[in-house]
Amino acid sequence: MPQQEAFLPPTLSQYQGLVRYVQNDGPNRYSSSCPRCGGEIHSEPGENYGDWPDRCVWFMADDPPRGYCFKCHTLFWPDQSPGYRPPRPDEMRAWQQKREAELEHKIQRAEESLEKLRSSRFWEQYHEHLTDEAHKWWFKRGLSTFWQDFWQLGWDEEHRMTHRQQQYVLPVATIPLFGFDWSFCNMKLRLVTPPQGVSKYRYFVSGQPAPLFRCNPEEPICDHVYAIEGEIKAMVTFATLGDGKRAIVGIPGTNPPESIIEQLKLADRVTLVMDPDAKQQGIELAKKIGLKKCWLLMPPEKIDDGILNAKMSARDVAVALNTATRLDAWVIGSAA
């Protein structure tokens, strides 16, 4: 994360007091919060966790330079620049369509990359690279060799990555993310020793909606599903129970994409297991899924930490999961 905020170029100075977290992302390109819809530091675990908001991009190579928010789809023109001429509606539409087409192209390229990775089954190579040190790291997280093999968890001792124009080489643990029937969706990287200001979680292929982590990819989402905030937390819970009788999935943070919400809607009942400080986010997520089918569990500490610290047995975990609160019984004034 940048240590000091940049300034927008003079041509765009009218927006300087209306945006925050200005960053120079490269030649002729800046990013920031949006003058219209705002934006704060990313607080959800994932590739951008802890990063400054970059929803509004300022394109300095255009004539005149202008900004575009990919969140609220607003176009910003420098109306205080010399020789300013208000854009015609057709110009604004054409420029907006161009930027949206660029975004669509990026998504398409990401899907093509994923398809190549599916055919090569590349995640198996990372699983084969599990050293003794890597096995111990996963074991300390609460996962035995059996579960490391079951989920094909992996390791890359010298992963190369770029973050905000900085180059890093560091060890990462790998978590393949499978859809129904083991269909590969993406792979999540857990940085073992993340540099200061860099998220400890990233996706191998960016530009795609974050997938669910299915503890048992052979089972469809139906009946009663436990949705736990975080993939590793879901793994530890499922592995400790050990019987495979409960449908457990890991969700990437408290504000998962619409695709995950639609999948959870397929269940008859959803028990949300959130981190201790995420009660309100859990309620908001339940509203999106449907309050009538949601229960909420707020353990006193992160569930995997609690399991490991207290050396909880399968029975202990089962009892804890059964203490979830039915939300439509006490969330007042909310649509179910």
CATH number at residue 190: 3.90.980.10
Cis amide leading into 86 (omega within 30) = no
| Predicted local confidence at residue 42, as pLDDT | 63
Range of the domain at 73: 10-87
Average pLDDT over residues 274-287: 93
Residues 215, 336 within the same domain? yes
Residues 214, 202 within the same domain? no
Residues 200 and 195: their CA atoms lie apart, in Å, by: 8
The string of pLDDT tens digits covering residues 63-111 is: 778 888 888 888 888 765 555 566 677 877 777 777 777 767 666 776 7
In a domain, 107, yes or no: no
Residues 154, 177 within the same domain? yes
Burial label, 111 (beta-carbon count in 10 A; 0-12, 13-18, 19+): exposed
Structure tokens at 174: 């790998």
Residues 56, 165 within the same domain? no
Structure tokens at 146: 């059996």
All residues at 6 or more sequence positions from 287 whose CB lies less than 8 Å from its CB, including other chains:
331, 334, 335
Q: Classify 285 in phi/psi space as left (phi over 0), alpha (psi -120 to 50) or beta.
A: alpha
**Boundary (domain end) residue, out of 42, 67, 87:** 87
In a domain, 326, yes or no: yes
More confident residue, 116 or 302: 302
Predicted confidence (pLDDT) at residue 243 exceeds the cutoff of 70 = yes
Residues 164, 252 within the same domain? no
In a domain, 265, yes or no: yes
Predicted confidence (pLDDT) at residue 47 exceeds the cutoff of 60 = no
CATH number at residue 217: 3.40.1360.10
In a domain, 115, yes or no: no
Query: Count of alpha carbons within 13 Å of 32, Cβ hemisphere only?
Result: 27
Lowest model confidence (mean pLDDT) among 45-49, 215-219, 261-265, 323-327:
45-49
Q: In the block, which residue shows the tokens 């960053």?
A: 23
Residue 289: pLDDT band (50, 70, 90) is: very high
**Boundary (domain end) residue, out of 87, 113, 130:** 87
Number of domains in the chain: 3
**Boundary (domain end) residue, out of 186, 208, 230:** 208
Predicted confidence (pLDDT) at residue 213 exceeds the cutoff of 60 = yes
| Predicted local confidence at residue 152, as pLDDT | 95
More confident residue, 7 or 248: 248
All residues at 6 or more sequence positions from 53 whose CB lies less than 8 Å from its CB, including other chains:
20, 21, 31, 32, 33, 34, 38, 39, 40, 41, 42
Residues 222, 187 within the same domain? no
The string of pLDDT tens digits covering residues 227-239 is: 999 999 999 999 9
Q: DSSP string covering 7-69, please?
A: ---GGGGGGGGG--S-EEEETTEEEE-BTTTB-----SSSTTTTPPP--EEEETTSSS-EEEE
For helices 314-321 and 231-241, give the axis angle rounded to 10 degrees.
120
Residues 220, 313 within the same domain? yes
Report the residue count for the chain.
Answer: 336
Residue 332: pLDDT band (50, 70, 90) is: low
Residues 192, 217 within the same domain? no
Residues 79, 194 within the same domain? no
In a domain, 105, yes or no: no
| Predicted local confidence at residue 83, as pLDDT | 58
Residues 204, 232 within the same domain? no
Alpha carbon distances (Å) from 301 to 49, 206, 274, 307: 21, 30, 10, 9
Q: Classify 229 in phi/psi space as left (phi over 0), alpha (psi -120 to 50) or beta.
A: beta
Predicted confidence (pLDDT) at residue 165 exceeds the cutoff of 60 = yes
Residues 242 and 310: their CA atoms lie apart, in Å, by: 17
In a domain, 232, yes or no: yes
Question: Residue 225 in contact with residue 264, Cβ under 8 Å?
Answer: yes
Within its chain, how far is the Cα of 27 from the centroid? 27
Alpha carbon distances (Å) from 189 to 14, 128, 270, 284: 40, 16, 27, 27
Nearest residue to 245 via CA among 204, 280, 215: 215
More confident residue, 5 or 180: 180
| Predicted local confidence at residue 164, as pLDDT | 64
Residue 274: pLDDT band (50, 70, 90) is: very high
Q: Mark out the alpha helices in the chain (DSSP H runs).
A: 89-120, 123-128, 132-140, 145-150, 231-241, 258-264, 279-289, 303-309, 314-321
| Predicted local confidence at residue 162, as pLDDT | 76
Residues 235, 291 within the same domain? yes
In a domain, 69, yes or no: yes
Residues 182, 218 within the same domain? no
Nearest residue to 54 via CA among 77, 20, 85: 20
| Predicted local confidence at residue 299, as pLDDT | 95
Residues 123 and 88: their CA atoms lie apart, in Å, by: 50
Question: Which pTM value belongs to this model?
Answer: 0.72
Structure tokens at 95: 């420029």
Predicted confidence (pLDDT) at residue 34 exceeds the cutoff of 60 = yes
| Predicted local confidence at residue 121, as pLDDT | 86
| Predicted local confidence at residue 180, as pLDDT | 92
In a domain, 40, yes or no: yes
Instruction: Supply the mean pLDDT for the chain.
Output: 86
